[in-house]
Each structure stands twice: as C-alpha cells, then as structure tokens.
Chain A
C-alpha cells in the first residue's frame, strides 16, 4: 500500500516537474527568438527536377546548411519548367513565394515583364564576395554570361546549362564505312544513305525531338536572328523572322530527311524520351539531343552492349558554323525578400556554383561545367580523357562565337512561338507541303501571338 502511495506521489511530482520544465523551456524559447534572433533564416529554393538532380541539390543544401548555420536552405522539386512557373505565379499572388526559383531560359522575358525577380547584380551591389564566397563572374563561361546578362546587368544565376550534341552508334557507323561521325547536315545525309543501304539497316538513321530548341540552335549556328530589335535584347522584339532563308533551310532539310526515311519521328512533339530510347536501344544510328543526357544515354547504351560516341551538333555547311546557344535554366532571386533571406539565397546560389560544385554537377548530369575553373579542374582530374562523351558540349559552347544570334532571343511569347514551330514541322513531316509557305504561315501566327503578348506591355 505504502509503496503504491509513494509511487503515485512520485508520479505526481514527476508530472509537475515536467510541466514546470516545459513552461520554462517554452518561455525561454520565446525569449530566445525575440532577443537573440539566433534561429537560422529559412531560404526556400524551388527547382524543376524530381529525379537524382533533386537528390543531389538536397544533399548540397544540407552541406551548405552545415557550413553556414545561420541559414536553413530547403529545396523543393517540381515536375517541369512549366509547372514551376505556374507554382511561382500562384505563390507570388499569395505572398508565399520562395527565395530562389529555377526558371527556364525561354521564360526570361516573361520573368522580366512580370517583375517577380531582383537581378543578381542589384542584390550584390559592389561586393566581390558574400559571406566569404567569392562572386567572380569573370570565371563563368562567356555564352552563359551573355545569355543571362540583360541590359548590361547579370540578372540570374546560371546553373543547369546544356547544349545539343550528336550521339552516334559506332558499330553501325563502322559497318557503313563511316570513320568519324558526320559534322554537317550534308554529311549526315550522306551517312544516312550509306547506313540505310546496309543489309541489316536499323529502323531509322537519325532522330531528335521535335522541340523548338533544336530549331533555335540551328538558327544560331547559321548566325540568323529569330526576332527584330537584336533578338529582343535591344528593346522589346515586335517581329519574328521564321520566314527567313536560314529558317526555311532548316525546315526543308528536316522535312527532306523525313521524306527520305532517314529521320524517325515519334509522332509526338517534345518527345525527349523517344529519342533517348531510340539511340540507346540501337533502333537508330544517330540522335541529336541535350548534353544533359550524356550520362544516361552512354550508360544505358552500354547495358545494351552499344558503344556511343558524341560529337558536335551537325550544322548547315552552306552557311557555316557560328556557334551554339546554351539551353536549360537559371536560378532567379525573388524580389522584396527580408535582408537575411536574400543574403542566404545569394550565398547559396554562389556556393552551389563554386568551382568544385559546378564540376560535380557536370559529372552527375552532363550539364555544362559553367566555370572556366571547373573545366580546368575536370581536365586536371583527367575526367574528359576518361569520359570523352562529356567533353563535346563544353567544347562546342566554348568555341562558339558570341553574336546577337548566339546570345539567344528574348520573347514574351517564346513558349507559344516554340509551339508554332513544332506544329509547323509536324505538319510538314506528316502531311507534306512547301516548307517556305509553311514557314511564312508560321511566322504570321507567331507574330500575332507576339503582338498579343506585347499589347499588354505597351
């Protein structure tokens, strides 16, 4: 009896003690936040990946948080660039915006018009380092810097930049007696003639996704601009040049490749997966797709006992090669953030793109190493020697001449323009028709969409 009573008393005493300490602790916590402001600043980062790229970024964020305990960076993944754009639209309307958003390159003008973001240059001011992390923009490779420089200001932080490259099945090429992968349209056509004449010819010779990005690349290669007012960089573009000679040349060549049975069209626009599938299973001899798939394609093909070699994106020999555009997305800083959140966001973006991290990011994915120093680091490690397929994109971008055309266009209606282009190409391939006429019509439609968009901002 007495033991029970004692025990009960003891329980009660413990209970009281717990309550007392809880009260004390919570009031201390309250006081703490008020007086010391020691809790880390929350920096929310939204990116448009849900695969291993999200995992990598999260690991990096954890590492960053350990190094800079005054910040708490959290990374959230979204399905694709369009989805993240919508999520941002909503978040900004509801005042629940994150600190950093990954925004795709064709949305640049839109981001500018919508006024969601603060330019990196403005946030940095005259500083050359933030929290001890050096800024050093000169170290970024030139095409990347020039793409994301608007009105002479460094606007967003480059991160995942890629370039389209040619992936070739060496066994099939060798069988057809082709020593080196074709470098021009004309060489591709000649190679395809040989390949398709083989007794055990693959189902198709070459494929690439029907995506506006490839068209834009070929425009840039021919040093042809997409829109007036210096591709929309001098001031707002008001007219497109889809009916120009280089543009029609792309459409004609693409269409003729399909007509001859060399180019395989999956029947779907923006079908990246079909291209990847076709090259890594040996259904086609060659494929053009993003360098960001270098790791995936090379490894998957190896599992199928297929040897893949990469080379630069074939160009139109009649017009020569000026250079390629970068593609991908960059990290944008949301405006009107509290000071310490903005500092955290800046620090994280700079840190994520430091020499070592940029090199690692390249190795994990195949995206361009966007710093000169990262390229040097990779060279020193012998990475490119061991993985020559990863070198092609850097080589292609670093040899590009920066002109108005290769800096890339800025259009408010860029996504819609892409839709017009892919639709036109699809119609040309599946229903036939004159490429010049089709491009004239496409231009009318695209101009109309551009005028519609612009009418909101004039």
Chain B
C-alpha cells in the first residue's frame, strides 16, 4: 500500500490544486489550462514538502492512527505553502479587475541595479542564513530523530516526537500554564502600564525624573530581575514576608506554593517589562490630539469618561503593538526570570513552554523532542500573531 502512496498523494494533491487554481484563472478570464497546470504543479509538489523527507512514514501500516492523522495534516500544510500565495494572488487580481481595490501602485524607491541591493543585503543575509535560517531548518530534521546531545548515534522516529506530545501530560499542562501566564502578563501588565503612564504624563514638577525612574527596570536583564525577586520573595528571609508580617499576615511560601509561584513570576515579569510599556504609552499620550479631549470636556464628559472613550481608543495602535511585543516577551523572554526565580517549579507550576524546551533539550539532552517542541511553540506564536492581526487590526485606529 505504501508503495503506491508516494505517487497517489501528489497526484491527488495536484488534482485539487489544478481545480482550485484553474477555476480561479477562468474567472479572471485567463487560460484555465495554464491555471490548472500551475495549480497542479504547486499542489503536487507542495504535498511532498514534508512527505518526501519523511518518506511517507506516518502512513506506514505499523504506525498508530494518530500518526496517520498528523501525516494528513502535514500533506495539507505542505499543499497550503505554495497554493496559499497562488490563490491569494488570483484573489487580488480578481478584486483589482472588478475594481474593488485601487489599481494604482505606490511608487517605491528601488535600486536601479539589482545587484547593488543584494550586495548591500549580503552581510545581513549571511548572518541570517547562518544563524537563523539554517538552524531553523535543521530543527525540522532534528525533530524527526531520537537523538541526545553529543550522542554518537541517533534513530529516525518519524513524527513520534510530535504525536508523543499529545499524550505527554507534563507538556499539555505546560501549554495551559503558558497561556495563563502570558495572558496575565499582557492584560495586567498593559493595564498597569497605561495607568502609570497616565499619571506620569501629568505635568508635575520633576516629571522627567519620575519617567526615567519608571523606565529603569527595563534596562535590567530578565535574569537579574529573577534574582531580585527570588531574594524578595524568599520564604525564609525575604522582604515580602517581612512586610506581610508587619501587618500581621503569616508568612507565605511564595516560591514553594504551586498556587502562589505563578503570580510571583507574573509580577516579576510585569515589573521588568513595564518600563518599556510606559515609555510607549507616554509617547502615545503626548501625540494625542488635544482638541477631542477639550471638545469632550466642554460637552461635560468627566475625566474617567474621556479616558475610556477617547484616550483608550486613540491609543489602540500602541496597545496593539504592545500586545504583540508583550506576548512575544511572555512566550520567550521570561526564560531568564523563571530559571532563576522558580526553575519551572514548584511542581511544574511555572514551567512554561520555553522552559519545558530547555528542560528537555538541555537538562535531559533530548534534542529531537526539544526540536519538536520548539517547532510547535514557533507555530503557536506565528498563529497568535496572525490571529491578532486579523481580529485586532479592524478595531485599531491609526491616527485621524
């Protein structure tokens, strides 16, 4: 059965691609045959993007059902890679033809000599290829292997590293923890930052000094933030428990209690990132048009009302930008804080995905599993960003 698959799958994929793109071409009034050829080629080759290096292994008869389902997903994803842009292009052409989109193209500054542009890009590209793209692609290769750091041998395990994650309770829990901690960091962090920025923006004596002091924590590395909070929330000698003791609250095991520790991590991460958020919010507040505020004030709107209905909507581009940077921060950059503050504990309650990857890949040295996890994390962040662009962009006002 597997013998025929490598021929049948691309044929079927090509067929689907041919129909999709061919019909679009005809709608555009171009040669349907040409479209079908393009679509067929794109679909057929696309289906092989993942399957050719994997040798169609997810469909081997001795594999589990879940591997097969994952394999189908990979075929579809592979097809989407060339077909997506192709269909997107036909869609754009169609809109332009039917006058739904302006046909005038923006004049862009372009280099007259194509080679000069490439020459100037070369240093950056070299670094990107060597340190980003090549390791990125190699991650895909690693994710199909059972291999340990330094081990002289490795074994091809098909998609086991991925499908194994579905039944890995520690991993699934870590996904939940990551989303909860990230959401808390973004929501509470941005709310607090906006509040403080509004206060710091007021024309008061010494405002510049306050602002500098507020931005200060951002200059601290996540690791140092982790150490500072580790000392402050140390259950035995930390200042947090000392302060609680002053008002008669018994000492809490901040870093030892699975219910409290995530909050310490959230608090530390928000504190660390706040300077950055405040900086952007102050800049945003300074650029807000005053006339709207004045008009509303004249109409009798109170300060809170003006803040909620004018300031916040007008700040939405900045909020949108900050949501994305804060989310990336919450997904990746809190590693240092967590490593020094809780080391993923207690009881795994602060083991976010990026820390999980570190534990699997570095502590346990299981490179294959770590590679699979990092691909999944990468896809999650890409997915979230796309989702945000889609949903939030509509509600964002870019200037007046």
A interface list, Cβ under 8 A from B: 82, 85-86, 88-90, 92-93, 113-115, 203, 264-270, 274, 277-278, 281, 283, 415-416, 419, 423, 426-427, 430-431, 449, 452-453, 455-457
Contact = CB atoms under 8 A, between A and B. Distances in A.
B256 A267 contact: yes
A281 B343 contact: no
Q: Which 4 A-B pairs have the closest CB atoms?
A: A267-B256, A89-B150, A267-B255, A267-B346
A305 B21 CA distance: 83
A226 to B, nearest CB: 18
A455 B155 contact: yes
Contacts of A270: 343
B345 A267 contact: yes
Query: Most chain-B Cβ atoms within 10 A of its Cβ — which of A270, A277, A416, A427?
Result: A416
Query: Most chain-B Cβ atoms within 10 A of its Cβ — which of A82, A268, A449, A455?
Result: A268
B363 A456 contact: no
Interface string B372-398: 000000000000000000000000000
19 contacts: A89-B149, A113-B151, A113-B152, A267-B235, A267-B256, A267-B257, A268-B342, A277-B236, A278-B236, A281-B236, A283-B236, A415-B363, A415-B364, A419-B363, A426-B347, A427-B347, A427-B348, A430-B347, A457-B153
Query: Most chain-A Cβ atoms within 10 A of its Cβ — which of B151, B257, B345?
Result: B345
A250 B146 CA distance: 33
B154 interface: yes
A115 to B, nearest CB: 6
Interface string B237-272: 100000000000000010111100100000000000
A212 to B, nearest CB: 12
Given A86-B362, A88-B150, A203-B236, 8 more contacts: A89-B149, A267-B342, A268-B346, A274-B236, A423-B347, A430-B256, A431-B258, A457-B153
Given A92-B150, A455-B146, A267 B155 contact: no
Contacts of A278: 236
Contacts of A426: 345-347
Interface of B: 146-155, 235-237, 253, 255-258, 261, 342-343, 345-348, 359, 362-366
Nearest to A445: B170
Contacts of B364: 415-416, 419, 449
A456 B151 contact: yes
Contacts of A267: 235, 253, 255-257, 261, 342, 345-346
Nearest to A92: B150
B148 A268 contact: no
Contacts of B258: 430-431
Nearest to B347: A430
Contacts of A88: 150
Given A426-B346, A427-B347, A431-B347, A266 B148 contact: no
Contacts of A453: 148
A182 B355 CA distance: 40
B228 to A, nearest CB: 16
Contact of B150 (A114, A203, A449): A114
A188 B255 CA distance: 26
B149 A86 contact: yes
Contacts of B235: 266-267
Contacts of B147: 456
A416 B361 CA distance: 11
B172 to A, nearest CB: 15
A430 B261 CA distance: 12
Contact of A269 (B146, B257, B343): B343
A86 B255 CA distance: 29
Contacts of A277: 236-237
Contacts of A264: 236
Contacts of A265: 256, 346
Query: Most chain-B Cβ atoms within 10 A of its Cβ — which of A82, A92, A427, A456?
Result: A456
B151 to A, nearest CB: 6
A455 B365 CA distance: 15
A92 B346 CA distance: 36
Contacts of B366: 416, 452
Contacts of B253: 267
A114 B151 contact: yes
Nearest to A456: B153
Contacts of B255: 266-268
A423 B364 CA distance: 13
B363 A266 contact: no
Contacts of B343: 268-270
A416 B146 CA distance: 15
B256 A266 contact: yes
Contacts of A89: 149-150
Contacts of A452: 146, 366
Contacts of A419: 359, 363-364
A39 B196 CA distance: 67
A82 B363 contact: yes
A321 B342 CA distance: 35
Given A266-B255, A416-B364, A456 B146 contact: yes
